[in-house]
Structure 1
Amino acid sequence: MKGKAWSLSGKAKEIYDCIRKKGTVSKQDLVDVSRITGSTVTRLLEELLSQELIREVGLGDSTGGRKPILYRINPLYAYAFGLEISRIHCRLVLCDLQMDKLESRSWNMTESMTPEVLTETVGREAEDMLEKLGLAWSSVLGLGIGSVGPVDRQRGIILEPLYFPAPGWRNVDIGTALSRRLGIPVWLDNGANTALLGEFWADSFQSYRHMLYLHAGVGIRSAMMSNGHLVYGAVDMEGAVGQMIIQTDGLPHREKQGNYGALESYASLYAMERNMRSALKQGRESTVRSRVSDPEEVKYPDLLQGLAERDPLTVELFTQAAVQFGIGLSNLLNILHPEKVILGGPLIAGNDLFFRVATQTAVRKTYYYPEYQVMFSRGKLGDDALAAGAAVMVLERLLEA
């Protein structure tokens, strides 16, 4: 392996993580939070300073004696790559230890983007990013991957994802392949989890500890955080929320094993395209018709253009889908009661109508409202959420080891 060595004791990791989470702290802050003795904290701070993992950043306010020395992590001690693998595109980011993005690249998932081609593409782009910034591989801690599920995160394997345009994406040991190509440690999780992790760390105050993330695109993906920690089930849960039944005798799922009346049959890119094609075949008027010669040619960007033009039919279809999505969201709120919900993905990004109708519908159908209040957001990281969260995961896994 050619990446950055990481050799800290358990207690040193604990103190480093406290500094990372708090931002700027004094020795007494660390004693209060960690409940480690003052003499031990002093020794651990000296260890972290000697390795240049942290640095002194001035003096704090006096409480009667000498002003305390303040500490922060050294963001340039090392770097981490984060990779998003989705059905539509891939995104690679390079972050410092403050998780600020230094460089990013993205490319489409085409019919030729097999696992082997992706591995080589990531390797080539990562090398180019480091060269551009004048960084060596010896300064890189590792690569985190946030991928379409289902995944086996323990073994680093993408299992059987649906709707990839290229062949060969069944039971892919992507962790081993990329570790060999890059020469650094690699960790894998599903993309919904890494997106939620990224959004959690993007909140500098981390004021919300119980959070729900929903990503609406080709399918619907979800992640949950409780008390600041991701919630994992017995199997990978990422895509299961799309199978939530909102109408028992409803539409058949596009896959034979799917549920009748499943949420993603009403609120997904596929559902939106299907509904517009059906409406055009029925002879309904729409500006979308002028952009296609055959209703079967309708794609989601055509609907976005129709929405921008305030085409009545397009607005109607988006509103219907948002109501159905809001019903599914209300079911999750009634079960999980998160403090904050982050909505992301192509169906929501830049779509004020969908976001507004979906959240209003969810609130109206949420039990305990108005006593129970929930914050809705489209997040701070935007398109970078999955990849940036994957970079955060690198440091998280090293601190847990």
Structure 2
Amino acid sequence: MNKPGIAVFTTKKAIYERVARQSGSISKAKLMEEFMLTSSSLTRLLEELTNEGWIREAGLGPSTGGRKPYLYQVNPLHRVIFGLEISRLYSALGLYDMELNPLAFCRWSMDEGMTPRRLVQYVSGKISSMLEEHGLDREKVAGIGVGAVGPLDRGKGLILNPLYFSAEGWLNIPICEWLEQETGIVATLENGANTALMGEHWALRDDSIQHMLYVHAGTGLRSAMMSNGQLVHGAVDMEGSIGQMIIQTDGPRLHDAGNYGALEAFASVQALEKQVRAQRKMGRRPWPDAEVQHPEAIHFDMMVEALNRGEPFIREIFDQSAAYMGIGLANLINILHPEAVILGGALMNAHPSYYETAISVAQKNIYYFPEYQPVFSKGLLQENAVATGAAVLVFKSLSL
């Protein structure tokens, strides 16, 4: 088996992926329609996949006038895959079967004690307990996919110098090497925004969407794009570059870094915390009991609670942030022209009004609207998208 991340495309693999994409089972006749193969060649490949355990026969389908067609489906436990999310606020690990259904899932906070080494040890322990719980041998694991905040060196499996982790030590981390040493399982690395998009695309596979945009608005801003069903990679992995989109030339910048008037200075968790803390330092009470709070003790979760209580000042700054986010979304959409836009992250989930305002402003600034209308959603997987997409990454890299 090849290392995940090094995809080897063969007709056999393409047939397997097509069977896996089908909800339920698929007939040999349907496969004949989609692949330019003779009946004998397709039969041989299906027999190989069946004998090797990747797929299994699922009985006979209904007749359309002749013989009843043979049906095939994926053998879900022929292998299993782990998907790992590494983010600033929390991380998550999922165990998936070959239909990408979750068998087990856990999530934990990324506090001051969650150093890189501690995370790898924690993940290793969770992998062992999940496999034991489901009675699975480690040899059945096809790989560990990792969706992480960047910037990254994907080829070398390195997390380079991400910002805003609570724990120390997150600098030039050979995360794949460490995971492989600790678990004995091959690991592959991808940007978390990309794996989130891969996960949502898989979840929506029945819709045959080819052009998708994913935007995550949380501690930082992240985005990913898919064109013709394939991820779009740039020359380098630049984490948070969407946050440097200039939307107000004479505007502020976040923490005295980055571009002036950049989107991250208006539409990120840190930007909102900075605004409320500044108001508190000037003596303003952003909500009634905030008087007892030291400015630096005010955090986003408190602000979300105040927002959901309907505090006017907090509602105002969230609405302003959502409007700026809408402008940023419109800029991306006018360049990339996606069919679907998936919006995730703490800001989008803080309150329905944030999500709705961002979409409304974006639509008003989309060129050719309403003739051209991308479909907006929070996705089907939402907070589980990164880990699921990391598992999809391994699945698509299998060599059969």
3-state SS in 1 of match to 2:29: helix
Quote how far apart the aligned CAs of 1:260 are.
0.7
Quote how far apart the aligned CAs of 1:9 are.
8.7
Match in the other structure for 1:248: 249
Match in the other structure for 2:117: 116
Query: Does structure 1 residue 14 correspond to structure 2 residue 8?
Result: no
3-state SS in 2 of match to 1:245: coil
Quote how far apart the aligned CAs of 1:221 are.
0.2
Paired amino acid for 1:303? M
* CA–CA distance in structure 1, aligned partners of residues 310 and 133 of structure 2: 44
* CA–CA distance in structure 1, aligned partners of residues 233 and 390 of structure 2: 16
Q: How does 1:1-400 map to 2 (within 5 A)?
A: 10-23=10-23, 24-254=25-255, 256=257, 258-287=258-287, 289-290=289-290, 292-399=292-399
Quote how far apart the aligned CAs of 1:65 are.
1.2
* CA–CA distance in structure 1, aligned partners of residues 346 and 288 of structure 2: 19
Paired amino acid for 2:154? R
Paired amino acid for 1:148? V
Q: 1:171 to 1:51 in 2, by over 3 A?
A: same
Q: 1:288 to 1:333 in 2, by over 3 A?
A: farther
Paired amino acid for 2:220? G
Quote how far apart the aligned CAs of 1:252 are.
2.0
Please say which of residues 60-69 and 373-382 is displaced more in the overlay: 60-69
Please say which of residues 167-176 and 319-328 is displaced more in the overlay: 167-176
3-state SS in 1 of match to 2:254: coil
Paired amino acid for 1:54? I
* CA–CA distance in structure 2, aligned partners of residues 159 and 255 of structure 1: 22
* CA–CA distance in structure 1, aligned partners of residues 106 and 247 of structure 2: 38
TM-score, L = length of structure 1: 0.94
3-state SS in 2 of match to 1:103: strand
Q: 5+ residue gaps in structure 2?
A: none
Does structure 1 retain, via aligned residues, the 8 Å contact 2:254–2:271?
A: no
Does structure 2 retain, via aligned residues, the 8 Å contact 1:223–1:238?
A: no
* CA–CA distance in structure 2, aligned partners of residues 130 and 21 of structure 1: 25
3-state SS in 1 of match to 2:215: strand
Q: 1:262 to 1:289 in 2, by over 3 A?
A: farther
Does structure 2 retain, via aligned residues, the 8 Å contact 1:222–1:237?
A: no
Quote how far apart the aligned CAs of 1:22 are.
2.9
Does structure 2 retain, via aligned residues, the 8 Å contact 1:288–1:302?
A: no
* CA–CA distance in structure 1, aligned partners of residues 380 and 131 of structure 2: 26
Paired amino acid for 1:302? M
Quote how far apart the aligned CAs of 1:285 are.
4.2
3-state SS in 2 of match to 1:208: coil
* CA–CA distance in structure 1, aligned partners of residues 291 and 83 of structure 2: 37
* CA–CA distance in structure 1, aligned partners of residues 114 and 64 of structure 2: 60
* CA–CA distance in structure 1, aligned partners of residues 190 and 18 of structure 2: 24
Does structure 2 retain, via aligned residues, the 8 Å contact 1:307–1:314?
A: yes
Deviations 1:74-126 (A, max 9, x none): 11111100100011111111011111111112222122222111111110111
Deviations 1:313-339 (A, max 9, x none): 111011000000000000001001101
* CA–CA distance in structure 1, aligned partners of residues 80 and 207 of structure 2: 22
Percent of paired sites with the same residue: 48
3-state SS in 2 of match to 1:305: helix
Tell me the number of residue pairs that the alignment of Structure 1 and Structure 2 aligns: 397
Alignment RMSD: 2.1
